[in-house]
Amino acid sequence: MQEVLRSLGLKEINEGCSTGQNWFSNGEVIESFSPVDGKLIGKIKTATKADYLKVVSTASDAFKFWREIPAPKRGEYVRQFGDKLRAKKAGLGKLVSYEMGKSYQEGLGEVQEMIDICDFAVGLSRQLYGLQLHSERPQHRMMEQWHPLGIVGIISAFNFPVAVWAWNSSLAWICGDVCIWKPSEKTPLCSVACQNIWNEVAKENNLPEGISSLVNGNYVVGQLLTADTHVPLISATGSTQMGKIVGATVAERFGRSILELGGNNAIIITENADLDNTLIGAVFGAIGTAGQRCTTTRRLIIHENIYDKAKDQLVKAYAQLKIGDPLNEANHVGPLIDKDAVKKYLNSLESVISEGGKIIVPGGVLEGKGFESGCYVKPAIAEAKNDMAIVQHETFAPILYIMKYKTLDEAIALQNGVPQGLSSAIMTLNMREAELFLSAAGSDCGIANVNIGTSGAEIGGAFGGEKETGGGRESGSDAWKAYMRRQTNTLNWGSKASLAQGIKFDLS
Ligand code: NAD
């Protein structure tokens, strides 16, 4: 691991703030321990308010430069950034896996998402289109164009320690914005590694400080960003609890926010499902990243006629799961992020029982050789009712709730009957069932899939959810519009002044 850390420019003690080539920080030191083996990976100095103010001032200056660069040229810098990510994919993927605890394959997948969104952003840098509209006045032209917003504040969660930043930053950069990133205090080394990669691009192209900046620290540093009127857009990924505070703070100052918050995702398994395919989607969805994805499958809503068969298959599949070091490709399930997460997992299992649920695959914490970090837990399954308080709540751990339904309308009501609205799926080979699920009377989530589980998404589509998931959209499709401001222009190229709505105003 030491070699990987060195190749990513990481030291034993790292400065936590950067505006580019400049690294500094005067706040307290946080330590990053790996949930894989409990070992200290490195230390990071956090930002003080003075450090933060320096970063904002540098970013404000950089915006004046960056907004003048033609968008395709900005795209060229993002292309170079993507190329560097390609070259460093193995190392960065390993660091993601070791600091966050997801499997090495998923760590590589996360870096691949960064590369993919860079490619997407490069193409988009030539397509930031506006509309041309017919004016109601003669010899007038009306159009819409999109301008950059300024500084985009990116607050990210621990479970996607690098990709979420890239989803936001690569789009924001080609749009002409500059970014300040406040990463999770649980995965700070990943952020330093990413900033180092951008810094190489900036240095090689003689770009000024402040196009990409980093401020490490906990929620206190996050609050500096969210309350700051110099930051017109905050893109915040994390818990619904955090989103409620961030959303209110940003709205209070008339800023904009993209909120990507908790999910409580379900798969409906109908009588017409291809059960073999269903099982792969459901089990990966429930136990991948040890249940720590916003899109993790938390509920299975199964038709009563196939309930027992599906349940048996699930129990058998869970018996085959291998739990252990996520860097070892033979293992399916790695650790939770920390002991606090383990406590929440255990409390949730207790609540399942006290609220009347029935555990059918028991959970528990693993001990002994290979599990010294104390963060490895067994994926559990419980039969539960949708209206139980614990089922309505997102526990960020591998606990899967299963329940029966009779009619598809009932199943859709169950699927929609939670406060969150991120990802959803139906498993069916029946066209009418699939189309109903995708219709306005179907899933109320931001993502609705057919014959694919809830977990994971392609960067080409807009990503985000409804209700308590926050309503934000990131990544593909036209999500770029959130990073820009729309301006309507009307231009009189004739020789007469004329007012809209036919209003006459004669000065003679
Ligand atoms: P968290 O809410 O504890 O922290 C997320 C980030 O917000 C961190 O950087 C944290 O320092 C910061 N933060 C916390 N309180 C803040 C405040 N008051 N002001 C400003 N910043 C603040 O979340 P976590 O435990 O890191 O991540 C897990 C959660 O993230 C889950 O709920 C998961 O569903 C959600 N998530 C959602 C998506 C999505 O796209 N919808 C993606 C990944 C994770």
Q: Are 415 and 443 in contact (CB under 8 A)?
A: yes
Whether the predicted pLDDT of 165 surpasses 90: yes
pLDDT tier for residue 508 given thresholds of 50, 70 and 90? confident
Active site residue 445: no
Q: Which atom number of ligand 1 is nearest to the Cα of residue 246?
A: 19
Residue 215: what pLDDT?
98
Residue 337: what pLDDT?
98
Q: How far, in Å, from the CA of 156 to the mean position of ligand 1?
A: 6
Residue 401: what pLDDT?
98
110 lines ligand 1 (CB under 6 A): no
pTM of the model: 0.97
Q: What is the mean pLDDT of the chain?
A: 97
Residue 108: what pLDDT?
97
Instruction: Give the pLDDT mean for 466-493.
Output: 97
402 lines ligand 1 (CB under 6 A): no
Within 10 A of 201 (CB to CB), how many other CB atoms are there?
Answer: 20
For a pocket test of ligand 1, which of 181, 235, 237 has the largest count of ligand atoms closer than 8 A to its C-beta? 237
Whether the predicted pLDDT of 105 surpasses 90: yes
β-bridge partners, 181? 154, 214
Nearest-angstrom CA–CA distance, 317 and 308: 14
Whether the predicted pLDDT of 507 surpasses 90: no
* Options 110, 185, 260, 474, the catalytic residue: 260
Residue 193: what pLDDT?
98
190 lines ligand 1 (CB under 6 A): no
pLDDT digits (tens, 9 = 90+) for 265-296: 999 999 999 998 899 899 999 999 999 999 99
Please report, as a single letter, which amino acid is at residue 99.
E
Residue 437: what pLDDT?
98
Looking at per-residue pLDDT, the higher value among 116 and 456 belongs to 116
Residue 210: what pLDDT?
98
Among the listed residues 258, 313, 233, 306, the one whose alpha carbon sits nearest the alpha carbon of residue 281:
313
Residue 498: what pLDDT?
87
Residue 440: what pLDDT?
98
* Options 175, 190, 294, 375, the catalytic residue: 294
Q: Which atom number of ligand 1 is nearest to the Cα of residue 157?
A: 26
pLDDT digits (tens, 9 = 90+) for 212-240: 999 999 999 999 999 999 999 999 999 99
pLDDT digits (tens, 9 = 90+) for 401-421: 999 999 999 999 999 999 999
pLDDT digits (tens, 9 = 90+) for 73-84: 999 999 999 999
Distance of CA 160 to the CA centre of its chain: 6
Instruction: Give the pLDDT mean for 145-164.
Output: 98
Nearest-angstrom CA–CA distance, 169 and 81: 11
Domain 2-261+470-487 sits in which CATH superfamily?
Aldehyde Dehydrogenase; Chain A, domain 1 (3.40.605.10)
Using CB atoms within 10 A of its CB, is residue 143 exposed (0-12), middle (13-18) or buried (19+)? middle
pLDDT digits (tens, 9 = 90+) for 284-327: 999 999 999 999 999 999 999 999 999 999 999 999 999 999 99
Share of the chain above pLDDT 90, in %: 96
pLDDT tier for residue 397 given thresholds of 50, 70 and 90? very high
475 lines ligand 1 (CB under 6 A): no
Q: How far, in Å, from the CA of 385 to the mean position of ligand 1?
A: 27
262 lines ligand 1 (CB under 6 A): yes
Residue 236: what pLDDT?
98
Nearest-angstrom CA–CA distance, 420 and 469: 5
Residue 438: what pLDDT?
98
Q: Which atom number of ligand 1 is nearest to the Cα of residue 218?
A: 11
Instruction: Give the pLDDT mean for 150-159.
Output: 98
155 lines ligand 1 (CB under 6 A): yes
Instruction: Give the pLDDT mean for 344-354.
Output: 98
Among the listed residues 430, 475, 379, 381, the one whose alpha carbon sits nearest the alpha carbon of residue 172:
475
Nearest-angstrom CA–CA distance, 201 and 179: 15
For a pocket test of ligand 1, which of 167, 215, 242, 399 has the largest count of ligand atoms closer than 8 A to its C-beta? 242
Q: What is the residue extent of each domain of the chain?
A: 2-261+470-487, 265-460
Domain 265-460 sits in which CATH superfamily?
Aldehyde Dehydrogenase; Chain A, domain 2 (3.40.309.10)
Using CB atoms within 10 A of its CB, is residue 63 exposed (0-12), middle (13-18) or buried (19+)? buried
Active site residue 118: no
Instruction: Give the pLDDT mean for 89-96.
Output: 98
What is the H or E stretch that residue 236 is in? strand 233-237
Instruction: Give the pLDDT mean for 379-394.
Output: 98
Instruction: Give the pLDDT mean for 356-379.
Output: 97
Q: In what order do the strands lie in the sheet with 40-45?
A: 13-14, 40-45, 29-33
Among the listed residues 466, 464, 490, 488, the one whose alpha carbon sits nearest the alpha carbon of residue 478:
464
Q: Which atom number of ligand 1 is nearest to the Cα of residue 183?
A: 9
Residue 456: what pLDDT?
80
pLDDT digits (tens, 9 = 90+) for 118-138: 999 999 999 999 999 999 999
Residue 307: what pLDDT?
98
331 lines ligand 1 (CB under 6 A): no
Residue 61: what pLDDT?
98
Whether the predicted pLDDT of 432 surpasses 90: yes
Whether the predicted pLDDT of 506 surpasses 90: no
